[in-house]
Every structure is written in structure tokens, then in C-alpha cells.
Amino acid sequence: MRKERSSGARTLIVLAIVIVVIIAVLAVLSPTFLTAGNLTDLLMRLSPLAMLAIAATIVFISGGFDLTIGVVMALSAAVVGVLGAAGFPFGLAVLAALASGILVGVLNAFCVVQLRLDAFIVTLAMNSIVRSIVHAMLKGNVLTDLPEGFLNLRYVSVLGLPLLFVVLVVVAALAIVLLRLTTVGRRIFAVGASEKTAYLSGVRVNRVKYLVYCLSGLISAFAGLLYTVRVRAVIPDTGITAPLEVITAVMIGGTLMSGGKGSVLGGLLGILAMFLLLNGFSLLGLSPFWEVIILGLILIYVVGQEQISRGLRLALGKKRA
């Protein structure tokens, strides 16, 4: 346990150093990087994806997998947009949007727990199904007919920080308390470390799985509302690249896909580092196509770093021999 904690602490320290280096380099290369407008826009842009990182971290720690985080964000936005345009009370539309995320989480958990299907396959299929539902709901259109009071939350700030970022900080704090300071959090870690051991210890494993997938759906749906506020519209392709970006950031932050290890703070630092790089690409006028390529290469390295390192050592050993 102490080794795991020290390893996690080292990961956070390394990430923090990397972030400081990136900030220093961008501050030198781009005179507009440290301007208030750019930093505010950066915090608003990363807030929805950082919410998804919290959701993915909780699922990964439990030993699960969820590829529906991006499409749930789109579904939530579509529900609030369609119901709002149809004249429903906006508060009820927001509750329905959050409920839609929980519903997807319940369906994911049902397939994984009751039907004993592989979480990757289930959430991959569910991603396609829900994406089709979103396109059917919006009919390929972008909705902008939303209450101005809701959309104007984009311009609200608290102590000089965008409201969207403040909401992210609150949700992150609640998630950290849940995982680190509650019995439920300890059970989530226990299930991720070993389902059999957790079961023998009296943990109701199936309930924990339902909980983490429902939490993932709820937080992802909330992220959809934040994204809608940020772009001031409901877009059919919302979150289409989110799984790649979020999973990369979460794994960079030290969360294991195998479960039992991870931290919300690590995932948030991973998102911050990624967005700093993307912001740097934009400010320096580099092609956005390279962003996805770099993210893919980083994910390949993070997932297979042990095998890559072992392969390089073997290759170098053969050359020396």
C-alpha cells in the first residue's frame, strides 16, 4: 500500500513538473499565452472534459471501462435542448438530461453485471447506439434556442474564475472525498484491486459496479450541460473524440485500466497538461490534425510502456551481443 501511494505521489509530482515546464515554454514562445483572456478560455474549455476525466477515473479504479462518457455528454445536451425547445419547464429539462446519463449507466452496468458481458464491448456498442439516438433527436441540426439565462452562465465568474471551472473544482472535491474518505470509496478501490477478495470481505461487488457506472453517467451528463453553456449551443457531434482524450489524460495521471489504483487529481493534471499542449498548438499556428496523432501516440506509450521498455532493452541487448 505504501509503495502504491509513493508511486502515485511520484506520478503527480512528475506531472506537476511537466505542466510547469510546458507553461514556461509557452510563455516564452507565445506572448498571448499568459493573457487573462487566453487563460480564462483555457479553463472553460478544459472544464467539461475534466468532468469526464473524473467519471472515467471512478470507473477505472473499480476495474471497469466506459467508452460512453463522450456520447452521454452529447445525449444530455440533446435532451435539454429538445425538451427546452418543446416548451418543457427548463428545470425539468435539466433533471431529464441528468437522468438520461444515469439511465445509460444503469444499462451499462446491467450488461456487465447481469449479462456478464465485457465492459469494453458493451460500452463500445452503447456508444454507437446512443450516438444514433442523439442524431435522431437533433435531426443533424445545431440547436441554439435555449434560455439566455442558462447560456449566459458562460460569462459568470467567481473570484475571477469562470463559473464552469468553479463547478469542476467542487465536483472534483466531492469525488476525492468519496474515494478517499468514505467506506464507499474504499469498496470501489477494493473491487478494482480484486473482485474475489472484495466479495470474500463482504463487499457487495455488483452494487459497487452499478454505483460506479451510474456515477459515470451522472457526471458525464453534467459535463454535457457545462459544454452546452460553453459553446452556447447543442451540437450532434459533442464529445465524439472525448474517450481518446480523457482516457489518455486519466492514464497519464496514474490511473490503471486494470483497477485498484488511481486518483482524481492525477486525471485532472493529465487533462490540464493535455489542454496546455493543445492550446500551445493553437497559439503557435500548428495544424490541429497533429493534436489527435500526438494523443494517440501518447496513449499507445502509456498503455504499453512496460512492453515498449522491455522490447527496447531486448533490442539493445541483441545489438550489443
Least confident of 99-103, 104-108, 162-166, 250-254: 250-254
Task: Name the CATH code of domain 2-286 (choices 2.30.30.30, 3.40.50.2300, 1.10.3470.10, 1.10.150.120).
Answer: 1.10.3470.10
Contact 214, 265 (CB under 8 A): no
Task: Please state, rounded to an integer, the average pLDDT across all residues of the chain.
Answer: 86
Cell numbers at 72, concatenated: 452521454
* DSSP, residue by residue, 167-217: HHHHHHHHHHHHHHHSHHHHHHHHHHH-HHHHHHTT--HHHHHHHHHHHHH
Beta bridge partners of 143: 234
Give the total residue count for the chain: 321
* 242-273 pLDDT per residue, tens: 888 898 888 888 888 878 888 899 889 888 88
- Reported pTM: 0.88
* 136-193 pLDDT per residue, tens: 998 888 888 888 888 888 888 888 889 999 999 999 999 999 999 999 999 999 999 9
> How is the chain split into domains, by residue range?
2-286
* 201-247 pLDDT per residue, tens: 889 999 999 999 999 999 999 999 999 999 988 998 888 888 888 98
